[in-house]
Amino acid sequence: MSGRTWGASAPAKVILLGEHAVVFGKPAVSVAIGLRLRCKIRPAAVSSLNGVPLTPQNYSYVSACLARHGAPPTAVLTDSDFPSGSGLGSSAAVTVALLAALNASKGDLKEDVVAREAFEVECEVQGRASPIDTSTCAHGNGILVQRQRGDGFLWEISMDTRRWCVHDLPVPKMTLVIGFTGKSKPTGPLVAKVKRYVDHTTFARDIVSEIGDVTMEGVKQMAQGDLEGLGRTMTKDHKLLAILGVSTRELDKMVSSVLPYSYGAKLTGAGGGGSMVALTDQPQKVMEIIKNKGGQPFAADTGVPGVRIE
């Protein structure tokens, strides 16, 4: 690390379609949004995150990144435009930005190397994961993860019987509004809860397959610039995620209240709290409704770059 400070930033992400099902190898679509997390590293007497020394009990993503790189004691400083645990990929953004800074300090930064390493760190810390979050934070713009290689292929990874091919996905011009419930839930336990459900019932397995089908419908609609269709597909996906047991009363309420002013809306990310996203052409109205329902609204720009050295 040679005594100096290194820094990188990574964007937040919004999963438009396919969360949870993607952990079982189904397709998912995600976009990077114009909120960023910045990370700086410098050599120190003990490793810490924002001044708090690392222990085996805290900040497991940060510890896992430092261990992976065999880093000497390091002070890690982060500053973020978006809340952690909000379903917007804060753990993926920290992991990607920190790994980018560590790679840069060794004189080498390749997006796909960072994306792959970040996915491996997420799996190690979370137990189960898919590469959708980390690859979106690393590559930016739009990402499609699916089993087969297609247009815009970037890289692939396999795990047991699952295979994910990561693709760059062109994103039509669209306006997204996010509503954060203010409640954070860690991703790992929600992913584990869905796995138990899927392991025990064919009904849950069918729902996961249906989410996969709905996601591919949305991919076609995106390619055609059919925002009305994409919105309907997002709302359908929300209903399926609710059946899987990852929605909450607040998320359902926020989604149904914005629907009269949106093409569609759904929870985004792991659920259990976190955030919802609406595809709309009336962003001000949707933000007002989210606020009235007790949520924290954000307007989200798309078409933003992935990880960057700062």
Residues annotated as catalytic are: 133
Among 230, 223, 219, 270, CA closest to 247: 270
Q: Which two tokens stand for residue 32?
A: 């990077």
Closer residue to ligand PMV in complex, CB, 74/126: 126
The torsion of the CA quartet 150, 233, 90, 1, rounded to 10 degrees, works out to 10
DSSP class of 175: -
Binding span for ligand PMV by CB under 6 A among 93-101, 126-134, 162-170, 219-227: 126-134
Compute CA distances 42 → 3, 74, 99, whole Å: 7, 6, 13
Of the pair 164, 263, the CB lying nearest ligand PMV is at 164
Whole-angstrom distance, CA of residue 75 vs CA of residue 290:
37
The minimum distance between CB 191 and ligand PMV, in angstroms, equals 5
* Binding-residue pattern over the window 150 to 189 for ligand PMV, x denoting contact by CB under 6 A: -------------------------------------x--
Does position 87 interact with ligand PMV (CB under 6 A)? The reply is: yes
Contact range with ligand PMV by CB under 6 A, out of 58-66, 106-114, 267-275, 301-309: 267-275
State residue 79 phi and psi, 5-degree precision. -150, 130
Query: Which residues fall within 8 angstroms of residue 239, CB to CB, at 6 or more apart?
Result: none
Q: Which of 269, 273, 295, 297 binds ligand PMV (CB under 6 A)?
A: 269
Q: Angle, to 10 degrees, between the axis of helix 60-68 and the axis of helix 111-126?
A: 130
Among residues 133, 137, 293, 300, which is the contact residue for ligand PMV, using CB under 6 A? 133
8 A C-beta contact, residue 256 and residue 235: no
Query: Does residue 96 belong to the site contacting ligand PMV (CB under 6 A)?
Result: no
Choose the binding region for ligand PMV from 38-46, 124-132, 253-261, 300-308 (rule: CB under 6 A). Answer: 124-132
Chain positions contacting ligand PMV, by CB under 6 A: 19-20, 22-23, 87, 89, 129-130, 132-133, 187, 191, 269-270, 274
